[in-house]
Amino acid sequence: MKKIYERLEMLLDCWSKFGFTTGFILFFKIKLKHLNSIKLPNLEYTFKLRNILEDLQVFKQIFFKDYYDFNYGEPNVIIDGGANIGLFAIQMASKYPNAKIICIEPDHENFELLTQNTSVYKNISCENCGLWDKDTKLRVYDKYNLGKWGMIVEEDEINGTIPAISLNTLMNKYNIEKFDLLKLDIETSEKQLFKKNYQDWLPQVEMLVIELHDRILKGCAQTFFETINEVFLDYDFGVNGDNIIIKNIKIK
């Protein structure tokens, strides 16, 4: 009975969001696990999902529940921290074709599909690394048994296999003066990112969309808000789904 209800709910969501024909096709592609070529009317190109729960959850959050459907103005630079398989990035690339979009994803398997999904978008660049407060090395693993949706990183300069990059380094590498939109879903790494070495890059962020992970690591929210209140002289605050939205009003 539960499965029937879930399938009916999915079908109604597909119809409501994309219309009868497109919604019907999408529903059966998901139901039959034909996930190699998903096409949505608001995207220029197709994309691929894996047959795992985490990919379907991210897909629903972005394209059904509109977790990132805000008015961003006309952003020139968008950073997708914790890009996963690239669904947020391709949504932004379709909506803002003139924006420079940089995806950061530390997990190799996620990164492989990320590059496949974004390769046709000329305004998207991808970095196979983690975001941290400094340039170092990390190890990435499923510490809390959350699957590919919840891979976390920890600093390990000796045995780490994943490079970590700071936002200061990213600014220098891509010649960025201002982050119009910084999206962060980095599975507890936000605690380290906002703990230190933020004085140069954070004042240059205009819009910040972040998911905090206190359910995994205590202190993420406290560290984040203490730093935001220290750096931003005035800001607007909002919540949408799991995301906190901060708009820096007095950005220089």
Whether residue 8 lies inside any domain: the answer is no
Does some domain include residue 45? Answer: no
pLDDT at residue 151 is higher than 70: no
Whether 109 is in a domain gets the answer: yes
**CATH number of the domain where residue 126 is located:** 3.40.50.150
Mean pLDDT of all residues in 59-64: 91
Burial class (CB in 10 A: 0-12, 13-18, 19+), 142: middle
Q: d(Cα 138, Cα 117) in Å, to the nearest integer?
A: 25
Domain containing 222 equals 56-248
Looking only at the bridges linking them, the beta strands covering 179-184 and 205-211 are parallel
Helix or strand run (H / E) with residue 237? strand 235-240
Taking the C-alpha atoms of residue 23 and residue 226, their distance in angstroms, rounded to an integer, is 44
Does residue 18 lie in a domain region?
no
Counting the structural domains of the chain, the total is 1
Residue 152 pLDDT exceeds 70: no
Instruction: Report pLDDT digits (tens) over 188-230.
Output: 899 999 999 999 999 999 999 999 988 888 899 999 999 999 9
In a domain, 43, yes or no: no
Half-sphere exposure of 29 (CA within 13 A, CB side): 20
Give the pTM.
0.91
Is there a domain that residue 21 lies in? no
Is there a domain that residue 48 lies in? no
Task: Classify residue 180: in a domain, yes or no.
Answer: yes
165-194 tens-digit pLDDT: 999 999 999 999 999 999 999 988 999 999
State residue 1's pLDDT score. Answer: 61
